[in-house]
C-alpha cells in the first residue's frame, strides 16, 4: 500500500489520518537492530535485564514518542538512548528505536 493520507473536515475539526504502512515507513529510519546499554551490546531477540521490567522503566506515553501501541504482554522501555519493546514473558527485546524518534515531526 502506498503512503496515503486522508483529510477529514467535520464541523470545526480537521483530522489527518495516515495509514499504518505510511507511518511505519516514516519511522523506519529510526529502527535499530543493535545498540549499547549499560556497557553491553544488545540485539533484537536478546534478553533484557530485569530492571527494565520494573514499573519505573515502563513508557506509558508511547504515542508522544512516536512509538506504536504495545500489544498485550509487551511494553515499551528505555535502555540508555534506545526505546525498546519488550516481551513481558520471555524478557526478550522485540523491537528497538533510536531515541531520535522522539524529535521527529509527524506529517
Q: Which pLDDT score, from 0 to 100, does residue 94 have?
A: 97
Radius of gyration, CA atoms only, the chain? 16
| Angle (CA) 62 67 71, round 5° | 80
**Whether the predicted pLDDT of 4 surpasses 90:** no
pLDDT at 72: 95
Does residue 2 surpass a pLDDT of 60?
no
Q: Which residue has cell 535499530? A: 32
Q: Quote the pLDDT of residue 105.
A: 63
The pTM for the full model equals 0.72
Partnered with residue 15 across adjacent β-strands are 8
Q: Give the contacts of 46 (CB within 8 A, at least 6 positions apart).
A: 92, 93
Sorting pLDDT into bands at 50, 70 and 90, what band is 27?
confident
Q: What is the pLDDT of residue 29?
A: 87
Amino acid at each position: 500500500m502506498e503512503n496515503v493520507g486522508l483529510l477529514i473536515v467535520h464541523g470545526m475539526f480537521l483530522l489527518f489520518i495516515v495509514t499504518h504502512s505510511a507511518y511505519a515507513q516514516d519511522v523506519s529510519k529510526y529502527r535499530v537492530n543493535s545498540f549499547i546499554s549499560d556497557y553491553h551490546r544488545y540485539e533484537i531477540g536478546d534478553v533484557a535485564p530485569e530492571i527494565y521490567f520494573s514499573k519505573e522503566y515502563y513508557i506509558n506515553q508511547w504515542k508522544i514518542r512516536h512509538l506504536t501501541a504495545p500489544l498485550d504482554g509487551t511494553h515499551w522501555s528505555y535502555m540508555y538512548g534506545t526505546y525498546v519493546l519488550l516481551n513481558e514473558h520471555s524478557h526478550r527485546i522485540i523491537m528497538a528505536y533510536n531515541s531520535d524518534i522522539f524529535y521527529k515531526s509527524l506529517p
